[in-house]
Amino acid sequence: MILSIPDVLSPAAAAAMRERLEAADSWVDGRATAGYQGAPVKRNQQIGEGSPIASELGDAILAALERHPLFISAVLPNRVYPPLFNRYEGGMAFGSHVDGAIRIVSGHGARVRTDVSVTVFLTPPADYEGGELVIEDTFGVHEVKLPAGHAIVYPATSLHQVRAVTRGARISSFFWVQSLVRDDAQRALLFDLDNAIQRLNASNADETARRALVGSYHNLLRMWSET
């Protein structure tokens, strides 16, 4: 399931975050965090893992997502890899790759299974050319370029790439989530069911039927959850 999460950050909050990142002195070669598959096709810059600004701004992004009901419903987060920040400019790109299955949190040793990939866009699309996140799935190829403050979530099993930025700079946050439900198809079914329940609640539909659906949702989550 590929899903846009709108308004994770306000435009002003995204701009303030971007300005702080642009002024940071902790940018490093993005290949520092690439695996053997990604390193040959990765050309970008990243804020060093564990740097104070990455920790501070990453915590702010996670706090915003924790308050976003659409993100919680779609992703069902269990563990989250601390957000990273990258910059593409001057022709930088990241060729087609699949994210590594397990990420080890720097300095902690905790392991996070990467079920869901997340990108939070911090630069307005008008400020740069290129830089589309291109995701492939069974329904085809999807190009993603969202307003500043919006996020995209998609299965980490997907083949994806970032096209070259030919004008301006694209700054984003990216990270991975280990979901309570490992299987993407099961997460999608739970998401659809949750949305249907919310619509029925808003229409004040039959209470007995709604209660049965809520019970089915939680019984499926209980059946599929790995926690």
- Helices within the chain (DSSP H only): 11-22, 52-66, 69-75, 184-202, 207-224
pLDDT band at 106 (very low <50, low <70, confident <90, very high): confident
For residue 10, pLDDT beyond 70? yes
Q: Residue 50: which pLDDT band, with cuts at 50, 70 and 90?
A: confident
Please tell me whether residues 99 and 205 are part of one structural domain: no
Can you give the pLDDT at residue 70? 98
Are residues 208 and 122 both part of a single domain?
no
Domain co-membership, 120 together with 191: no
pLDDT at 39 over 80: no
Same-domain check for residues 216 and 113: no
Instruction: Compute the average pLDDT of residues 55-69.
Output: 97
Closest among 138, 140, 142 to 153, alpha carbons compared: 142
* Same-domain status, 9 and 115: yes
**Contacts for 19 with CB less than 8 Å, ≥ 6 apart:** none
Q: What tens digit of pLDDT does each residue of 202-226 get?
A: 998 899 999 999 999 999 999 999 8
The domain spanning residue 127 has which CATH number? 2.60.120.620
Average pLDDT, stretch 103-108? 88
Q: Return mean pLDDT, the chain.
A: 95
200 and 174 fall within a common domain:
no
Secondary structure of residue 111 in the 3-state scheme? strand
Output the pTM of the full model.
Answer: 0.94
Q: Are residues 198 and 154 part of one domain?
A: no
Q: Kindly state whether residues 165 and 219 are assigned to the same domain.
A: no
Write the CB contacts of 40 (distance below 8 Å, at least 6 apart in sequence): 95
Q: What share of the chain is helix, strand, coil (3-state, %, to 5)?
A: 35, 30, 30
Are residues 166 and 194 both part of a single domain?
Answer: no
Q: Is the pLDDT of residue 36 over 70?
A: no
* Domain identity same for 116 and 27: yes
Residue 29's SS3 state is strand
User: How many separate domains does the chain show?
Assistant: 2
Report the CATH number that the domain containing residue 207 is assigned in CATH: 4.10.860.20
126 and 206 in one domain? no
Q: Are residues 174 and 66 in the same domain?
A: yes
| Residue range of the domain that includes 168 | 3-179
